[in-house]
Structure 1
Amino acid sequence: MHIDESQIQSEGIFQGIVENLQDGIIIVQDQKLAYCNPSVSGLTGYSMDDLLNGEVGFLSPQSIELLVSRYQDRVEGRPVPQIYEIEILQKGGGAIPVELNLSKVSYHGRPAVLGIARDISKRKAFEEELLNSEQRFRALIENVPVAIWVTAKNGKTVYISPNVEQIYGYTVQEILAGGDTFWFDRLFPDDRDKVIQAFGELFSANVPFNIEYRIQRKDGAWIWLYDRAKIVMEKGPEAFAYGVFSDITEQKQMVQQFQQAEKMQAIGQLAGGVAHDFNNQLAGILGYADLLRDGAKDNPELSHYADNIIMAVKRAADLTSQLLAFSRKGKYLSITVDMHQTILEVVSILRHSIDKRITIEQELAASPSTTIGDPSQLQSAILNCAINARDAMPDGGVLGFFTKVVTLDEEFCKKIPYEIPSGEYLQISIEDSGIGMDEGTVRHIFEPFFTTKERGKGTGMGLASTYGTIRNHRGAIHVTTTPGKGTTFN
């Protein structure tokens, strides 16, 4: 057979290219390795002679099993991929992943299989790092106490992180299936317009979306959210809002409580000063009224007038004593008081004066049940709360008294707006199933002369004096309420 010089030169060029490729080139013929380039030696660590003499096996058992299985599929006419990922065993004992591209060729005039093996260990390491990074990022998103969201211009939520359910109550599936107005429909009425306006300006003018608002949870409760977002362009001209919101209800409540405590302290100082000055004026009026009554013993009409003045002065004195109790400037005893006995006395009073449709429940579990204080003031404080509960149930209901010993740690004491040390406390809870109170009423409930009752049916000093009494006994008082469901004083 005649082979001309150009053919020899062409084959030489081809061999030079193949032997300098970074990819490994192998040719298998009659189930034996008929050819491999130096890169295969580099991949495996074995010499060319060892590889071509068939003295070493450089395929892992799993890779051999895969290749045999794919070969059988091809023989039986089933479609098989051309590219495989297999492991090549190295002389030093390690293994590296390679991408193997197989094709049928003719080698020296006989059928053979050409394999191109590419080292993909760096790519695999990168993919693994990317996967680990994605898993870390996903774990971060799903465990931070905020919700991350993506929304289209029309308000449709296209992504929200799973922990939204902890904050909002709704699942991811419920939110994504809720439509364009799902979020806006649950905004607090007073906040709705400002949120919609801010959301619109985010898309129309790229004004930063940075806003606090109230929204209704799935369970009906209203919570405060701090929400911020920015615009991100995706899919050409389409814009999406990427945002994150957090529940700031507790912070809002703490701020309100501290502001309320400061206001109550200022009101208390004012009330205390007024009460002292008023008491001094009443002392003068009472003295002259006594003299008038003594000098009018022979004049029944004047004596009657004097008695009325003295009665009015005493009622005014009761009012100033409540003001002094509120301002924590009144006189009080400091003896051991059994609060269970005090509550039983209050219950006894109530059973003879409240609507028979109101059921009284008791669960007095505190042990010990004693504290140091003024029994008369403490009884008045509990009675005032109970009367408030009674008035909240015009159609009847349940009035409950509960006690237990609680331990307040330093972290809790720092969060509440009262300066009380950590330790064990006797907690008294007075619950009712009445009409409850709105947020505006709760903010003023302990202020002097604040009342929601009709004119002439209340002085607005009952709960104010209760507040002063509890604070005077180095305690704290807190009210939780839901309109239509009831109120609890703790």
Structure 2
Amino acid sequence: MSNNQAIDDTFHQSLFRAIFEKAPIGVFTSRPDGKNFDANPALAAMLGYESPQATRANLSEIATQIFHNPNLPIEDVEVIQKAPDLVMLSYEYARPDGSSFTAFLHICTVHEPYTGTPYILGLVEDITDAHDLQKKLRESEQRYRSVFENAPVGIYQSTVDGHYLNVNPEFARMHGYATPQELIDDVRDSSRQLYADPNRRLQLLKILQEKNAATNFEALSRRKDGSTFWTMRNVRLMCDAEGKPIHIKGFVTDISERKQLEAMREDVERIIRHDLKSPVIAMLAGLKMLSWRDSFQEDQDLVHELQETAQRMLAMLDLSSVLYKIEQGIYDYETRPVDVVSLLGDIADSLLTFHASKRIAMHVQPREITECHIMGEPLLMRTALENLLKNALEATPDLDEVTVRITVDTICTIAIHNAQPVPEAVRDRFFEKYATAGKTSGTGLGTYSAKMCTEAMGGCTEMTTSDDEGTTVVVQFPLA
């Protein structure tokens, strides 16, 4: 060997050692059987050792000491020997403390130039974070798929024009299909095949175009065999970064049973209204006859009060049909100025007859105001305010007080306050139909009808409640 050759060899050995020591990734050399193992500082740190020296001192057989599955490296050595070029493998490595990490192993076979002795040169790249992320993504996908497949509600994904891209088994079942794929293959026009009224889907699309989402959207749906059932949908329009629609995602619940119960309840209410009107009318006729008799002249005030009460009962029975028309959006009425100060005073006097142990304190701001006229329908106005004031009185303990504040500005604001909080069970549903708690005879219709009547006249209602401040219901109406 010439001196120049020796110098070159020394230089290359020094260069390799410098790269070996300073490389930011793990580097090692070993014999094919795992002996004569040498690791750089980066690999020593990956394996959980303080230094390469500690690694060499503690690792005598790398195949059995650092691999979770010792058989894999032995099998791969045969692959490397047959294909000596660089090979990339993935392993899970074990540390002395019991922890582990996943890494790519870039490996090849090299031979000692003078003796021809084979050595393995390996580069180790820690990919634990990426591996964990992929694992979490797979687990998340599996959880989503499990929810999708087993959800008790229908879930679907469709194009805007109504072609289904993906549906879960429950969505297929409720529409009369044996499998999701059968529905996807069969339905070409969902507005006509799965809606009893095709225009209903057009209405849904209009809402999605305006708000990107539709909540509690009810529709009469159609099954494969042509039968119908009621559904409620919560749907979102998915768009790209530029705001262009991509597809629709939705959740569908079968509400047929609820609709049947509501229909039964409405039938019962209509029957009750019909059956009660006859005795009330008879009562009015009897009171009118009593008012004509001289022997009852001293009781005319009482007879007159009973007549007014019976008239209100008759009006309330008629109101039930009015509320139904308001719900359907078909109620038409003529407004006229109504003095809410006088009306509230009349309502308070009437209610205190049945709640003599309680008080109602009424305040008007500004104080000089004695009248406040708003445009409304007298029956609807009385119903709304009477129900809200009655509700507050019923919640108030004996000897306690309900406060009514009427504020006249650009609008008329009526605030009814009592010291008791609304029960937790109905706070979020205070104005909903049939929402009631704590009343053995409560129907859950009082606050609902108050809200319906108020909004029908262009007003608005809101409620605030807390354990410390009690409950305040605010009603606002435009001035006449």
TM-score of the superposition, structure 2-length normalised?
Answer: 0.48
Q: Which has the higher relative contact order, 1 or 2, with Cα contacts under 8 A spaced 6 or more apart?
A: 1
